[in-house]
Amino acid sequence: VQLQASGGGLVQPGGSLSLSCAASGSISSINVMGWFRQAPGKEREFVAALTRNGGFTHYAGSAKGRFTISRDNAKKMVFLQMNSLKPEDTALYYCAVGSSWPMERETVVYWGQGTLVTVSS
């Protein structure tokens, strides 16, 4: 399984960005998909995840109310809409496929490459 993330870039504080991640390869059924991020000098941390039918979503406290995760199962894609961005949101953002719910770093089975989000004036 390959995960290709895109959509990162430079944005001013208060701005918005939308990240996308496309899954390809031998995929029989992807249940849990989500996003993590890693800021310079920090550990990779959970951001948001959702189940296949979108019935369950989970957000990190830092993302709640500002970020929205969604998916398109037909296209095998997951999205992260990020609003009201702050400088502390600056990080490499990774999409991921998990083996169980709730999604945790330890239960990720596939990682995409990171896409860089920089929030700066």
Find the length of the chain: 121
Is pLDDT at 14 greater than 70 in this prediction? yes
In angstroms, the CA 63 to CA 69 distance is 10
In this prediction, residue 58 carries a pLDDT of: 95
Confidence of residue 75 (pLDDT cuts 50, 70, 90): confident
Residue 27: pLDDT band (50, 70, 90) is: low
Coil, strand, or helix at residue 88? helix
Beta bridge partners of 77: 22, 72
Average pLDDT of the chain? 93
